[in-house]
Amino acid sequence: MSLPSLAELENVDGERVLARLDLNVPVRDGVVLDDTRIVAALPTLRWLTERADVVAACSHLGKAKGAPDPAYSLAPVAAALELALDRPVRFIPDCLDTGNDAEPGSLLLLENLRFHPGEKANDPEFAARLTEPYSHYVNDAFGTAHRAHASVEAAARSYPRGRKAAGFLMEREVAALDRVVDEPEQPFVAVVGGAKVSSKTAPLEALVGRVSSLLIGGGMANTFFLAQGLEVGRSLVEEEMVGTARSVLAAAAKRGIEFVLPIDVVIADAIDNPKRVDVVASDAIPADKMVVDIGPEARARYREVLSAARTVFWNGPMGVFEVADFAAGTLAVAEALAASPAFTVVGGGESVMAVRQAGVIGDIDHVSTGGGASLQFITGESMPAIAALES
């Protein structure tokens, strides 16, 4: 069974539609700092508002804990959405308010779903109250597709086929990631970075079974160094994950997969205001220093592997990317992906930020809006929101 598309919605003209979007955007002092996810939702919203009588958009924002919290109100997002669409958006201060008095042609934005504990609990009663006013349901929130929450799982299951659909963004995400998971064109190269092996164990194990090369960077590389018996100094490391790292290395060796760790690294005495920054071989990390980035030889090696790839998936920075002095490795990977002839997919906030900062986002074939969701997708595990739409 495939995802139902917007074109498959039956009798949507003149009806009321609930649209689950991912509007979890950064807000500071009542101002949206980055409207990327808002812009990504516009095609689906435009399609719906041209047909439906009333469209009610809903989303979560931040880490609300089951009760109203002004810090996580979607009111600023309503203003940003109104600006992006160039049309009125009526903000509804409780997501369970039916908005029955909305005039034909109205676009509503419901308050943060996570102000109710039933959202994260995937409570069917909460889902029933949320969906009751709406004849149709659309999910365009790929970033939450891996969560079994009420607005994406229980809500979707309450609608029959023909009354629910994936939005345009959800369709694009699934199509791009399907291309990576289902018989990707070889050589298939995965670049995995970030701080911890523990947060990416399942994706690493899944990728070892599919890729021809696996390039590792970020803090997790230190755990692999430790697994090989190397000194890592004062670097971030997960000693409790050394056994897992050894298992991943052994699995890669058994399958004949090229497992590439940085041959050299950038080290420093501190992350903030360092007094000394050097480049050393990975087997010569001083006991009193910490790894903060991959080195120039590693960047060149990664660029070489990526230039020969036909499919690339990237998730996670190569170093302490948030510090400009230690961002060179991550930006080098971004530029290498842009120059590669491969079909390229980037997921994860810092990786997306890197291709944007490097000015190459337009050269990436697919930039995913869901870091965690894209990681779970490539493991082959069921995605609750997708399964609910397909049911």
Residues annotated as catalytic are 37, 196, 349, 372
Going by C-alpha positions, the residue among 84, 105, 106, 88 that lies closest to residue 97 is 106
Cβ contacts of residue 89 below 8 Å, gap of 6+? Answer: 78, 79, 81, 82, 107, 108, 109
Strand partners, 220: none
With H, G, I as helix, E, B as strand and everything else as coil, classify residue 20: strand
Q: Which two structure tokens, joined as six digits, stand for 192?
A: 């995995």
Closest CA to 8 of 161, 169, 170: 161
d(CA 24, CA 234): 35
Q: What is residue 233's DSSP assignment? A: T
Spacing of C-alpha 345 from chain mean position: 11
Tell me if residue 165 falls in helix, strand or coil: strand
Q: Which of 342, 316, 347, 338 is nearest to 188 (CA)?
A: 342
- Contact status, residue 221 vs residue 261, Cβ threshold 8 Å: yes
What is the rounded CA–CA span in Å between residue 190 and residue 345?
A: 10
Rounded distance between C-alpha atoms, residue 319 and residue 105, angstroms: 48
d(CA 130, CA 374): 27
Q: Hey, what amino acid is at 266?
A: V
Give the helix ranges, DSSP H, for the chain. Answer: 36-49, 75-85, 117-120, 124-131, 154-157, 168-181, 201-208, 220-227, 242-255, 296-307, 328-339, 349-357, 371-379, 384-390
DSSP secondary structure code for residue 264 in this structure: E
Contact by Cβ (8 Å): 51, 88: no
Angstrom CA distances, 365 to 33, 238, 340, 344, 360, stand at 25, 33, 11, 5, 11
Chain Cα centroid distance, residue 352:
9
Spell out a b/e string for 42-54, using b for 16 or more CB atoms within 10 Å of the CB, else e.
bebbebbbebbbb
Contact yes or no for 9/162 (Cβ under 8 A)? yes
